[in-house]
Amino acid sequence: DAMVIQNPRYQVTQFGKPVTLSCSQTLNHNVMYWYQQKSSQAPKLLFHYYDKDFNNEADTPDNFQSRRPNTSFCFLDIRSPGLGDAAMYLCATSSRQGIYGYTFGSGTRLTVV
């Protein structure tokens, strides 16, 4: 089945230690998104790629970076995780205008110790 895969499912990292979360898709969707979601809150868009075009949300901290080396893969790099960065990180994909909504990966639960 075509899908969006996130690894790892759970990630524990030390305060200030760089961490990378990965996302891959077999849907051949043009657009890939990274969301941060904290408990009982709406998903917060961090950035998205429209093909290779990178779009950063204005309020996304510089601590968060992203790479999309090809259509299938997208990475979220957190350069110096703080305690406030503990959250669920969701990768999603959509076709060009997302008419049929987004397909989400299973998410990565990040814990910062």
56 binds other proteins (CB under 8 A): no
Q: Which stretch binds other proteins (CB under 8 A): 15-23, 40-48, 60-68, 76-84?
A: 40-48
Q: How far is the CB of 61 from other proteins (least distance, A)?
A: 19
Letter for the amino acid at 2? A
> How open is the CA angle 92-109-47, to the nearest 5 degrees?
35
Structure-token pair, residue 14: 């030390």
Please give the Cα distance from 80 to 71 (Å, whole number). Answer: 27
Piece of the chain touching other proteins by CB under 8 A; list 21-29, 64-72, 76-84, 100-108: 100-108
Give bridge partners of residue 64 from the DSSP assignment: 78
Q: Which is nearer to other proteins, 73 or 109 (CB)?
A: 109
Residues that bind other proteins in the complex, under the rule CB under 8 A: 40-43, 45, 88, 90, 97-107, 109
